[in-house]
Structure 1
């Protein structure tokens, strides 16, 4: 099979699916190729929190654009995404987090956010349970929200298909073809796709796709773990985070609880010592682990894009157990958390924590949107729209130069 499209989007997470939607809506001939299933990896494995709190100021304008999209997204797509503007609370119980929270208030003022800095007594009046022992206060942003991470990317993909996009699942993109200094196609399991533009939004797999082109993508695979409780007979109405855990209660009353202190980089053959130093792992509380992923990488499990249709790493059970214990200690009126199920997902982190969003200088026609870490879910709709604007209009109304990969040119 040899078909031709205007644009090939590689990666069926929320970034790739939203880019495909906006491109198809603009009348472009688009095919979205995904090696596994749409929304199978990073985009569906977090909590689903969509917020502005503690974001880098360089991301804030794009995040506010995204919030505007989220508020009207169900009407736009004609589909359910579970959007809810329930507010976000970030508790702090030590001087380091207090100073970070106080510093963020200058950013909140600059961008007109609804964020408030609360003292201990105000936190007690806001939350329906005592805050952690020794709590000093919290950041509270009532305009932050959440969505169902299991619904959003598939909703974007369905809407893209309604506008004429072709969606290929279980169809790995093996390589990107170049003619001179311009992209000209993508070789996939189902044949070659000729095209003028290629969007690489492949999450953790982005570096593997770009390496044969001589393009370094300095991302680090980081594993995060989440557990889900049975239905709780309590209304924990805010998205809440602290040093030990973060949680968000779903509409069915079940609680998704993330193990904040159990973010892990699994050492594998493609782990680069220089890159590990650049990521300043101790500062970001990312642990290194040597285990089964290294054995699997030695056996060649990560050498191509079809061995793992869907990355499904094991949760960090000890970290989830600690998170549940900390939650139980802070919520004595709630019966001890027993997980109904748990899961993990790999996130692609860059050394400075900011994503790479750009039109690559060479080869022309290549666009990259990856390296979002844990912050990609909320910002993704605006990123997808910006990539579409790059392709359809040659520019976007937001300054995306801070997200250029050139900032890592010496890595």
Structure 2
């Protein structure tokens, strides 16, 4: 195996695998290193939503182009990823949710989105078996969609390999080598990998890889939980829906139900280092933010999370109480589904930023370092275009988008 590459991509989630694919497609010699298995962490553990609805305006131009990628992705990658373009819906039950929904409509009109406000009867028409008794309407975007998170990043990785990329699983990147202010390589478990550029797409681990370089990435790990039911006797048209909980029906009839609105943060050392930067976000969402002090803090104090070989795959415990509440709320919306039992459940750590926007940046110093992380719980749908954007920055030296809102330096500005 060659130990010299044009680019080393660190992180085997959807962003890292997409970046490796588009770089290889551009003719670059690429190595993708992942400390565990490809798609082992949050990229396989999210809801599967691919949405323009509810996004920050700075993300929407990228997301609109990303929808074009999603529509042709199965043909391009040559694999089935359960892509469905049947919409995203946010059900309205109270005045606060109506106000939030209406506030998005000027943004939707600005970008000519298909988003519209529905009446309760229109919601019932779109969602067979749904009990619309308490419904006051919904925010609906017909052109949004969903795909299976367990399938997408592995499909990108396999496509990258077919184009000549080297994919190295169970290979931790230990550090980024810098010489005279320029990236020179990556120290990995399989030895040093020389390169001219590095893409850091390592999700929750990003801040720990950047810290030795003196670069701050003020993110916190927010735990999200999802459960999967058995096959239910209902038809939801394969939408992604936010109602009293969040859910998505799979092609096999099973339903993924998420603990929505409740951010669960396991307190660690970074909670106290970066926590003050999250105060505005926490003050806006204090009803939906919960804290836990337990094993993650002890492991952090013992230095386990500083050693990238200790936890090959972050596999936190799901929030079973939250999942039980979510199942009850789902049953209120779909009484004909009967008792809702989970066949399995899981949790993942989201790399969450204070302003809920990602970092997509060519870091000025060291030269040759590119960061694509901090996607704050809405990165699955945006992941392919983030990977492509980073590849364009490297292969073409430019991007088609205004990346100023995603600068890595935005939290250090006075």
TM-score (norm 2): 0.96
Match of 2:117 in 1: 117
Match of 1:367 in 2: 370
Q: Distance in 1 between matches of 2:302 and 2:197?
A: 34
What is the 5 A alignment of 1:306-345? Answer: 306-345=309-348
Q: Distance in 2 between matches of 1:283 and 1:171?
A: 40
SS at match of 1:236: coil
Once the 2 structures are TM-superposed, how far is the Cα of residue 124 of structure 1 from its aligned partner?
2.5
SS at match of 2:337: coil
Q: Distance in 2 between matches of 1:144 and 1:2?
A: 42
Once the 2 structures are TM-superposed, how far is the Cα of residue 222 of structure 1 from its aligned partner?
0.4
Once the 2 structures are TM-superposed, how far is the Cα of residue 131 of structure 1 from its aligned partner?
4.7
Match of 1:299 in 2: 302
Q: Is the 8 A contact 1:244 1:259 kept in 2?
A: no
Q: Is the 8 A contact 2:118 2:138 kept in 1?
A: yes
Shift in alpha-carbon separation, 1:126–1:85, aligned structure 2, 3 A: same
Match of 2:284 in 1: 283
Q: Distance in 2 between matches of 1:59 and 1:41?
A: 23
Match of 1:194 in 2: 194
1:390 is aligned, of 388, 393, 396, to: 393
| Unaligned runs of at least 5 residues, structure 2 | none
What is the 5 A alignment of 1:71-150? Answer: 71-131=71-131, 134-150=134-150
Cα deviation digits, residues 361-391 of structure 1 (max 9, x gap): 1111000000002110001111111111100
Match of 1:211 in 2: 211
Q: Distance in 2 between matches of 1:65 and 1:141?
A: 16
Once the 2 structures are TM-superposed, how far is the Cα of residue 185 of structure 1 from its aligned partner?
0.5
Q: Is the 8 A contact 2:90 2:243 kept in 1?
A: no
Match of 1:236 in 2: 236
Shift in alpha-carbon separation, 1:123–1:345, aligned structure 2, 3 A: same
Q: Distance in 1 between matches of 2:277 and 2:183?
A: 33
Once the 2 structures are TM-superposed, how far is the Cα of residue 211 of structure 1 from its aligned partner?
0.4
Q: Is the 8 A contact 1:262 1:287 kept in 2?
A: yes
Asked if 1:152 is matched to 2:152, the reply is yes
Once the 2 structures are TM-superposed, how far is the Cα of residue 145 of structure 1 from its aligned partner?
0.7
Please say which of residues 116-125 and 309-318 is displaced more in the overlay. Answer: 116-125
Once the 2 structures are TM-superposed, how far is the Cα of residue 181 of structure 1 from its aligned partner?
1.2
Please say which of residues 74-83 and 376-385 is displaced more in the overlay. Answer: 74-83
Once the 2 structures are TM-superposed, how far is the Cα of residue 261 of structure 1 from its aligned partner?
3.6
Match of 2:185 in 1: 185
SS at match of 1:363: coil
Match of 1:222 in 2: 222
Cα deviation digits, residues 342-362 of structure 1 (max 9, x gap): 000000011010000000011
Once the 2 structures are TM-superposed, how far is the Cα of residue 95 of structure 1 from its aligned partner?
1.7
Match of 2:10 in 1: 10
SS at match of 2:31: strand
Match of 1:351 in 2: 354
Once the 2 structures are TM-superposed, how far is the Cα of residue 243 of structure 1 from its aligned partner?
5.7
Q: Is the 8 A contact 1:2 1:191 kept in 2?
A: no
Q: Distance in 1 between matches of 2:290 and 2:411?
A: 23
TM-score (norm 1): 0.97
Match of 1:46 in 2: 46
Cα deviation digits, residues 111-146 of structure 1 (max 9, x gap): 111111012232233222345653321011111111
Q: Is the 8 A contact 2:331 2:337 kept in 1?
A: yes
Please say which of residues 238-247 and 73-82 is displaced more in the overlay. Answer: 238-247
Runs of 4+ in 1 over 4 A off after TM superposition: 130-133
Q: Distance in 2 between matches of 1:341 and 1:47?
A: 14
SS at match of 2:377: helix
Shift in alpha-carbon separation, 1:282–1:257, aligned structure 2, 3 A: farther
Match of 2:28 in 1: 28
Match of 2:382 in 1: 379
Q: Distance in 2 between matches of 1:19 and 1:240?
A: 26
> How many residues are paired up?
411
Q: Distance in 1 between matches of 2:337 and 2:3?
A: 57
Shift in alpha-carbon separation, 1:94–1:282, aligned structure 2, 3 A: farther
Q: Is the 8 A contact 2:15 2:386 kept in 1?
A: yes
How large is the RMSD of aligned CA atoms in angstroms? 1.6
Q: Distance in 2 between matches of 1:131 and 1:173?
A: 50
Once the 2 structures are TM-superposed, how far is the Cα of residue 68 of structure 1 from its aligned partner?
0.3
Q: Distance in 2 between matches of 1:334 and 1:81?
A: 26
